[in-house]
Amino acid sequence: MAVDAVIFDWGGTLTPWKTADGRAWWRIAARLVAAELVDEAAAALAAADDELWRRSRDDHRSGTLAEVFEAAGVTADDRAYAVHDEEWEWATFLDPDAPTVLTGLRERGIRIGVLSNTSWTRARHEQIFIRDGVHHLIDGAVYTCEIPWTKPHPDAFRAAMAAVGAPDPGRCVFVGDRPFDDIFGARRVGMRAVLLPHSVIPQVQRGHTDGEPDAVIGRLTDLLGVVDAWRAASSSAEDLPRYRGEDAPRRP
């Protein structure tokens, strides 16, 4: 199997999953509104954020952080974005394996993309990649805040393939941590899908179907072996091997 491009999910994949304490929106509200309005604003922010995830899960439609702020009566200005970014900074750092994997894919002549279901701005994601020293290794990125659809809608995956100049889904691999958004979505559009199953997915974000991955890995560095095995194998789909990293959990 020829591999032209590998496209990654961001949160929970290139960035390891972090479990929050449920108080983020309260802390954000406490810095943006009057003290007597904090509880009300925090509840409204959390409800608006949940609605974006519900819309993504059920309708596969995108949303923006500005919508969340505005639904709670908070002005979506530079200060609001800065407070939000500071609150979530701790959860944004790159998986330590990622630079090795991205560099290894580049050395193999494979294009690298990112497709993230996110309400955060492109500028924020780019700041994160620049901070972590991998921005130059990414050939194209699609953030769903900029398009109408979210994963698992096929058009989200097609947009990511277009961003890296890889029109044939059969020659593309998608890597993600979510069986619905990432695996079901990628397989439905004709891509091969690799599951990195280490995220605790909130119920509001779970979809109706767990897709069956072509490979399951325990850590990002296992991906290079998967890609090498597929490239070396017959181009016949029946002959392509399945792979499981040694540390990957077994599916029931």
Of 36, 71, 90, which residue constitutes the final position of a domain? 90
Owning domain of residue 219: 5-16+93-244
139, 98: one domain: yes
pLDDT tens-digit profile, the chain (252 residues):
799 999 999 999 999 988 889 999 999 999 999 999 999 999 999 999 999 999 999 999 999 999 999 999 999 999 999 999 999 999 999 999 999 999 999 999 999 999 999 999 999 999 999 999 999 999 999 999 999 999 999 999 999 999 999 999 999 999 999 999 999 999 999 999 999 987 666 665 566 767 799 999 999 999 999 999 999 984 545 444 444 444 443 333
Within-domain flag for 226:
yes
* Token pair for 123: 């500028």
Three-class secondary structure of residue 116 per DSSP: strand
Same domain? For 97 and 177 the reply is yes
Looking at residue 245, its pLDDT comes to: 44
In the chain, the number of structural domains is 2
Domain boundary among 90, 110, 144: 90
Rounded Cα–Cα distance for residues 221 and 209 (Å): 27
- Shared domain for 107 and 191, answered yes or no, is yes
CATH number, domain at 204?
3.40.50.1000
Are residue 110 and residue 51 in the same domain, yes or no? no
| C-alpha distance across the termini of the chain, in Å | 28
Nearest to 1 by CA among 228, 249, 225: 228
* Helix %, strand %, coil % of the chain (to 5): 50, 10, 40
156's CB contacts (< 8 A; 6+ apart) are 60, 115, 117, 142, 144, 147, 149, 150, 185
pLDDT at 203: 62
Domain identity same for 29 and 143: no
